[in-house]
Amino acid sequence: MAEYSNIYFIGIGGIGMSAIARYYHKKGLKVSGYDKTPSELTHALEAEGIEVHYEDNIDYVPKDIENTLVVYTPAIPKDMGELVHVQQAGYRVIKRSRTLGEIARGQHCLAVAGTHGKTTTSTLLAHIFADSEEGCSAFLGGISKNYDTNLLVSTNPVIVAEADEFDRSFLQLFPDIAVITSMDADHLDIYSDIENMHASFRDFASQVNGTVITKIGLPICESDTEATVLRYSYDDASADFYASDIKVDECGYFTFNLNWPAGVIEGCRVGIPGWINVENAVAASAIALTYGLAPEKVKHALGTFQGVKRRFDIHLNTPACSYIDDYAHHPNEISAAISSMRDIFPGRRLTAIFQPHLYTRTRDFADEFAQALSAVDKLILLDIYPAREEPIPGVTSEIIFENVTAPEKVIMVKEELMDYLKDEPIDTLITFGAGNIDRFIGPITEMLCQRQSDI
């Protein structure tokens, strides 16, 4: 982007957009942008010297058309005033995914794709490179707890990228090595059906230049790509990469042997709890080992990984009360998180708070959400977070709620939540959702900690 002196972002507060904004800011370009509401992310950008505003006002757009690149997220409405203005005024206007593709071009790209699991896996992969002192630049879909950022920058020409299937964004990437973690039905507002979504993943696989590593059982085969196809698994010994001799301690931390084509790495330990993170560790390690990192450095990095904010993120853990927050917004993600909670806290009473994300996703997976959430002891279900969507008649949280068979359940709007929790007995609690439920993490943690001190 050397030909531009200004980079202007419409939707700068998004997790993917903010990483790219930070990247250009570190490269010395003038970076600014719009977002709908202030957030922890936008405040962090402002603290780093990036100008952010919160009203749709073309006066904030840099006036130098020829020297300004405008980057936007498809989550922005097409009729948003600033977006319409830059498109009509002659600015170069590109989507976030195109920008990431241009940054990755000419570098060694390691990509992580999948309908779930990709954020933890890509963040762990980036940590493996950073911890090994090999170094990489990384554009992450979450905030790494090791580095307190969603961007790593290195002089080593290796890029770790989260390859997002939304809006077919990942088709802007042409990786050297890629992993595909999952291909469950999602984003059906974009793909219309799972067959179209699977076809898009196969298109992504066809763009990989070296090696595609897929979770065993996914419908990607050798005829879909000229790249080498390898498989990984949690514990299936028929895969190329898998865990064996798996042990879990009383706090939910796992140790295992990592099997790969060149041998066995014994005594690996993941630095965050939950069986799902063993699977994520196998996937991340598969890319790192295929790239050529030393097995002992991969093993060390797994043990020092601190996780990702809002990905099975432990905020309180005592014998009397435990609270975990998770970004899960797909039924399979929720099921995996609940399963991990049951492993870590056997016999304890589990309460879940869930905020559905998007009307279309709620409509398309209402039955699956109900089934997944029925595995808790009590469900507190909130109203739908709409994000980029307009309401759909007849689609409310009620269509999930009516089919939940958990022993206890209650439905409410989010404004009622904190008052309700004041008198609610909590043993183990998990909050789920990709909307603004994260605004409750601090107040809930503070309330539960206060209860502990009052005992």
Residues belonging to the active site: 118-119, 162
User: What are the residues whose beta carbons fall under 8 Å from the beta carbon of 155, sequence distance 6 or more?
Assistant: 135
* Token pair 């709890």 in the structure block, residue: 273
Residues 194, 196, 197, 200: what is their CA dihedral angle, to the nearest 10 degrees? 160
Q: What is the 3-state secondary structure (H, E, C) of 185-232?
A: CCCHHHHCCHHHHHHHHHHHHHCCCCEEEEECCCCCCHHHCCCEEEEE
Beta-bridged to residue 326, according to DSSP, are 432
Which candidate, 230, 238, 240, 279, places its Cα nearest to that of 256? 279
Is 341 within 8 Å of 324 (Cβ atoms)? yes
CA–CA gap between residue 142 and residue 144 (Å, rounded): 6
* Token pair 């998004």 in the structure block, residue: 14
Cβ atoms within 10 A of the Cβ of 237, count? 9
Q: Strand 254-260 to strand 428-432: parallel, antiparallel, or no bridges (unpaired)? A: unpaired
Separation of CA 295 from chain center: 26
Q: Strand 254-260 to strand 263-269: parallel, antiparallel, or no bridges (unpaired)? A: antiparallel
Tell how many helices (H) and how many strands (E) occur in the chain.
15, 21
3-state SS class at 170: helix
- Quote the Cα angle for 314-315-316, to 5°: 100
